[in-house]
Amino acid sequence: MRLKLDRLVAAMALVLQGCSLAPTYKVPDAPIPLHYSGPWQAAKPADNVPQHWWSLYQDPQLNDLQSKLVKANPDLAAALAHFDAAQAYASQLHGGLFPQIGATGSSVRQRQSENKPLRGSDQPNVYNTNTAAFTLGWDLDFWGKVRNRVAAGDAQAQASADDLEVARQSLQRQLSNLYLQLAGLDAQQAILKASLDDYTQALTLTRDRYEGKIASELDMTRAQSELAQAQAQLDDVINQRNLTEHAIGELVGEPATTFRLAAIGTFPALPEVPAQLPSTLLQRRPDIAAAERRVFAANANIGVAKAAFYPDFSLSGYFGGQDMGVGNVLSATNRFWAIGPVVNLPIFTGGRLTGAEKQAKAEFAEASAHYRGSVLKALREVEDNLSQLRDLKQEAADQQAAVDAATQSQTLAMNSYEAGAVNYLDVVTAQTAALDAQRRLQDVQTRRLQASVGLMVALGGGWQAGQ
């Protein structure tokens, strides 16, 4: 008897393992180079994604804003709720792997027809019926339909987790860019305020010369115009700063009416890009990981569609009792039970199953194309930001030279004007060139920082500090 029971258990285990009709899974081929263009060579990727990549900018206020973003951003809360829903759906699918046991009970008073077929002569017209029963249902999953459905659900849940990380990184990137933009605007304000001092001194000098009959009224109006234009530029920068500050407040979950950020006195440091940036770092990108998980889910769904062509075996049973309203419903004489296999075999479905299989294969092809597209997009984003960092570095050096020359020209023009060697038009030209050069240099510095943010996100979360 013991030997028979062991054989039965072993047979059931073999049956439950069954087989899977899903194609053997293989990650779609994608054109990934060994390393990126430029001086970056192939290297081993980091084991973990840096969770606080923005800390490389060494700005405590930015760190604090990023913490508020994670805690209070509404869009991130919505993405988290979507992830929780995907996890819950996957747990529902897991239930199909196990026997389903339920209990039912009823107490009914009913009347039967006096002309009911096969009715006994001694049966009453009106009677009570009490029923209590346990039910059992178990899909034996010979062809892997349930297991593939569970695998697809798990993969979709994993993709949803990656989607959550995509949303988080996207918002963190927005916040970092806005903060760097705000820092740039504060630096622009400092440049314009310094220029206002220079323009004010020039206007005072010109007024004195005009009153002394040395300078013309044209010089006087030019000096006034330059001062007014610089003030207008400062007003515009202040307006842009207000709008940027409001956008940051929205991201961190605070109303724009009350949200305020103090002026950023020290411009954030530009992180140094490591000499080794391997393309394998893209394995950490959550959008690529999500696309790959959706390919896996689509592959498993092909197995679900194929299994529908085969007989569906399940085990069904029930046990309970029934009486006419008196006595113990579960007494020996009132008991009933049944147990046995159930087979469901599709014979004619009008092409429904064939269409479902074609749909599953088409969805797999679509998911594979999206995966390859995600990889190509990632490579392009990394190369774009590497190119920007390289080109903006050279542009910053050239612009710094322009600033030095324009500043020297402004000093020479002002000294010459005081000595009466040149007219005020030369001063105006030199001052305008110096201000424009300084503002352009500041704009390049801001864009370099924002390009480094783009590179970190494009690499799936920056790089390890030790690389």
- Check which CATH number belongs to the domain holding 62 and give it: 1.20.1600.10
Instruction: Kindly state the helix (H) or strand (E) to which residue 338 belongs, with its residue range.
Output: strand 335-344
3-class secondary structure for 239-265? HHHHHHHHHHHHHCCCCCCCCCCCCCC
Partners of 317 in the beta sheet? 136, 339
Q: Is 422 domain-assigned? A: yes
Q: Is residue 156 a contact partner of residue 294, using CB atoms and an 8 Å limit?
A: yes
- Exposure pattern of 242-255 as b/e (b: 16+ CB <10 Å)? eebbebbbbbbbee
3-class secondary structure for 27-50? CCCCCCCCECCCCCCCCCCCCCCC
Q: What crossing angle do the helices spanning 60-72 and 217-251 adopt, rounded to 10°? A: 40
Q: Is 52 domain-assigned? A: yes
Cβ neighbourhood burial of 109 (10 Å; 0-12, 13-18, 19+): exposed
Q: Is 242 domain-assigned? A: yes
Domain count, the chain: 1
Task: Please tell me the predicted confidence (pLDDT) of residue 462.
Answer: 63
Q: Is 246 domain-assigned? A: yes
Q: Is 90 domain-assigned? A: yes
Q: What contacts 426, CB < 8 A, 6 or more positions away?
A: 413, 416, 417
Task: Please tell me the predicted confidence (pLDDT) of residue 228.
Answer: 95
C-alpha pair distances (Å), 271 with each of 57, 169, 422: 6, 18, 45
> Measured between alpha carbons, how far is 409 from 92 in angstroms, rounded to an integer?
74
Nearest C-alpha neighbor of 53 from the set 458, 457, 467: 457
Identify the domain containing residue 150 by its residue range. Answer: 19-98+144-311+354-458
C-alpha pair distances (Å), 343 with each of 142, 233, 312, 340, 350: 11, 80, 6, 10, 20
Task: Please tell me the predicted confidence (pLDDT) of residue 6.
Answer: 46
> Measured between alpha carbons, how far is 449 from 181 in angstroms, rounded to an integer?
9
Q: What is the pTM of this model?
A: 0.82
Q: Is 334 domain-assigned? A: no
Q: Is 253 domain-assigned? A: yes
> Measured between alpha carbons, how far is 131 from 142 in angstroms, rounded to an integer?
34
Q: Is residue 127 a contact partner of residue 324, using CB atoms and an 8 Å limit?
A: yes
Q: Is 450 domain-assigned? A: yes
Instruction: Kindly state the helix (H) or strand (E) to which residue 433 belongs, with its residue range.
Output: helix 424-458
**What's the residue count for the chain?**
467
- pLDDT tens for the chain, residues 1 to 467: 444 544 544 455 445 455 788 889 888 887 666 555 544 333 333 334 456 889 889 899 999 999 999 999 999 999 999 999 999 999 999 998 999 999 999 889 888 888 888 787 778 888 888 889 999 999 998 899 999 999 999 999 999 999 999 999 999 999 999 999 999 999 999 999 999 998 898 889 888 888 888 888 888 898 899 999 999 999 999 999 999 999 999 999 999 999 999 999 888 888 887 766 666 566 678 898 899 999 999 999 999 999 999 999 999 998 998 888 777 887 878 888 899 999 999 999 899 999 999 999 999 999 999 999 998 898 899 889 989 999 999 999 999 999 999 999 999 998 998 888 888 888 889 999 999 999 999 999 999 999 999 998 988 876 554 44
Q: Is residue 303 a contact partner of residue 20, using CB atoms and an 8 Å limit?
A: yes
